[in-house]
Amino acid sequence: MKHGYARISHRSQNILRQTEALESFGVDELFQDVQSGKDDERPAFQQLLATANPGDTIVIHSLDRLMRSMFHLWKVIEELRKKEVNLISLNEPWLDISGNNAQSNLMLNIMGSFAQFERENLKIRQREGIEIALNNPDSNYGRPKKDTAKVRHALKLYQDKTHTVKEIERITGVSKATLYRKLKEEV
């Protein structure tokens, strides 16, 4: 049996490109996740692993839809090998874990290493960007600042004891947590 697996990270992305390619390949069953590839506990993927039987084949659109790190890739491949389940990638035709394929093992190591390298570089660039944003007073990094006029209005309504906290939240748009935090700061 051929099981297709498609994954996108966010609902704003379109999974159709993957599902159409997998259906064209002739998968019997399709599993889909909307979750980061770095999460091991993707529900559809876990269901796929539980469903696949010896001799079955899992078909993916591309390797990055399956994993985000070398560690995760090898963890999945070892699990599939133990279950005697094959793996095919439509965009990486060299990927074949149906036997002891030296070329596939070499390519998996190389491609997985590049994926891990890129992920680490992304984290470095992200940290650098955050550092720059934190050191730049004109930056909009972090939570948006509450409108001080709204907060003052909420504090006044609270101190006047004319409204409940829920009413103050509705009237001013200032959350209960922010209101109580500001009250605590004033003491």
Instruction: Give the sheet arrangement for strand 86-89, strand by strand.
Output: 29-34, 2-8, 57-60, 86-89
The 10s digit of each residue's pLDDT in 78-107 is: 889 899 999 988 988 777 787 667 888 788
The 10s digit of each residue's pLDDT in 109-129 is: 787 777 778 778 888 998 898
When pLDDT is cut at 50, 70 and 90, the band that residue 28 belongs to is very high
- Let me know: does 44 contact 65? Beta carbons within 8 Å: no
pLDDT of residue 132: 86
pLDDT of residue 101: 73
When pLDDT is cut at 50, 70 and 90, the band that residue 183 belongs to is confident
Q: Give Cα 15 distance to the centre of its chain.
A: 14
Model-wide pTM > 0.75: no
Which whole-number Å values give the CA distances from 43 to 22, 31, 33, in the listed order? 19, 9, 7
pLDDT of residue 73: 76
Catalytic residue numbers, as ranges: 9
Q: Is the pLDDT of residue 53 over 80?
A: yes
Multiple choice CATH, 2-117, 3.40.50.1390, 2.40.420.20, 1.20.140.10, 3.60.15.10: 3.40.50.1390
Phi-psi region of 186 (alpha: psi -120 to 50; beta: other; left: phi over 0): alpha
Residue extents of the structural domains in the chain: 2-117, 148-186
Q: Which phi and psi angles does 88 have, rounded to 5°?
A: -130, 140
